[in-house]
Homo-oligomer: A and B are copies of this chain.
């Protein structure tokens, strides 16, 4: 598939960001977010240097772009990623309302480099009792009541 010129430029920047990050102690992933054609965020994976398991390039870029634009709604934005987003990052992309993602490498290449995104995709599709992590439920009524209170709350800001 041939990318448009601007998509190619921004995806190359995401890949370059990933490449440079290796020798700086981070993971080999980079992301760029553009809004109406202009770059608003550029980030690399910072899990190890930041001691933060959520600090994937895409999450960092979404946080930067949101801060830059002053809103959690990134529906005018395109995200460029050096590799296919993992389930955490793809979930964040949905919550941010980003409607287009352009990426280069994929989950299978990531798995062969030791990043098992594919396993997490598989786990998320399982019922909770079939997953490798233990998931227990309790206090259902108390939990449900919080959501009912939200529904009734007149000043809520939906997102």
Enumerate chain A interface residues (CB-CB to B < 8 A). Answer: 1-3, 7-8, 11-12, 15, 18-19, 22-23, 25, 27-29, 47-48, 50-56, 59, 62-63, 66-67, 69-74, 82-83, 86-106, 109-110, 112-114, 120-121, 123-125, 133-140, 142-151, 153, 156-159
Contacts and interface: CB of A to CB of B under 8 A. Distances in A.
Chain multiplicity (copies): 2
Most buried by B among A97, A101, A147: A147
Contacts of A27: 150, 159
Nearest to A28: B150
Given A15-B146, A113-B147, A143-B82, A136 B72 contact: no
27 contacts: A7-B136, A11-B139, A15-B146, A18-B146, A19-B145, A25-B157, A28-B149, A51-B67, A82-B146, A87-B87, A87-B91, A87-B94, A88-B88, A88-B95, A98-B133, A100-B135, A101-B133, A101-B134, A101-B136, A102-B138, A103-B137, A104-B143, A105-B144, A113-B148, A113-B150, A114-B151, A125-B125
